Structure 1
Amino acid sequence: MPGTLIIVTAPSGAGKTTLVQGLLKADTGVQLSVSYTTRAPRPGEADGREYRFVDINRFRELRDAGEFLEWAEVHGNYYGTSKAWLRSELDAGRDTLVEIDWQGAQQVRKMFPESVGIFILPPSMDELERRLRGRGTDSEEVIIRRLLGARGEMRHVSEFDYVIINNELPDALEDLVAVVRAARLRYANQHARHPSYFDFLEKD
């Protein structure tokens, strides 16, 4: 049975990374898709774990070779998802989660219309600014740029299947886990998982 493709999108600072990490611990049947990026690693990040870190020339080589399912420039950095790797993982029955921006989500859903789109929202713009400043990893210039872009990103929330407002982290994580589990129970998935059962029901 093909795996389920889960797309998670959020403006920077909404808590997406924390929620995704919590989901991966709570549901070991989900794996994370590791994207390519040209941005520098943050403290504690490792190549091949959070991202595949490459320089811009290598990124362009991969892009021009058709390696990416989607790619986008976000806050001055490039991000891309490997098309061949993702397809092979889903064909092998592995549920795979992709963390991408709304532009990338549009491109992925064109090729994988059966994917599940989830948008994470902060409880307010004031709280979003507080979280961005509290991280202590970005310069003032980067923080301002992220805040300016956040509202535009959030206007695409209606393009997604599910919306989670990350006000209290435990509640938001519970919602995310519930959405992923529910996605596995869609009719098409259950039919593929138990074909003989449904064949019996569909007989005259």
Structure 2
Amino acid sequence: MALRYGSFATFLIVCPTSFFLGIIFSLFPYDYPILWSTSPTGSTAYDSLETHLRLLHASPPLIPRILHIVIFLGLAGLIMKLWRPSESNMLFDGASLVLYACGITVYVANIVKGLRLASGGVYGAELAASEEDVGQILGREDSLKVLSASNTILALVLVGVLVLQAGQWYAERKDAQEDESFAAVKGEGKKGATAAAKKKAN
């Protein structure tokens, strides 16, 4: 029963995490010219990214609701696995929960804010409330770069969650194999002792 419980919780963690990685991968063609391309970034790359972000932000309410439900499912899976703590849970699932929380923070603080800015089309000095704030607020290109970098950070965080879950599965599998081999050796030892005792009795 514990194995089924843990497997279902792991399913709730791995599936949402993989789902989010797929979403971030779909944004990679827009982020690549801005962050990773060796050639100078033209204005068309920023225009394409901004247009795509406006389309995402203007999506029907059902889309973000589904996204937030999937986020909650991943969080619920981590909490389920930590409900019955063990050494493996505290190490792997605790670290996974920390990374998942960091991913949610990046999503709320950077990505959601960036989507709102891109949708409004207002950047830099236009957002400044006073002359002192003019130089402290990022312009259009820098804001879009921050959003693209946030996608990369979020991808690394989610990959870390998957690596930790895979490491936990491998560690538990090795422990189970060692327990089986130890039980087999112990069983053979008992059989040998029983046979020796019968010989002495005869």
Q: Scaled by the length of structure 1, what TM-score is found? A: 0.28
TM-score w.r.t. length of structure 2: 0.28
> Comparing both structures, which one devotes a greater share of its residues to helix?
2
Higher strand share: 1
Larger radius of gyration: 2
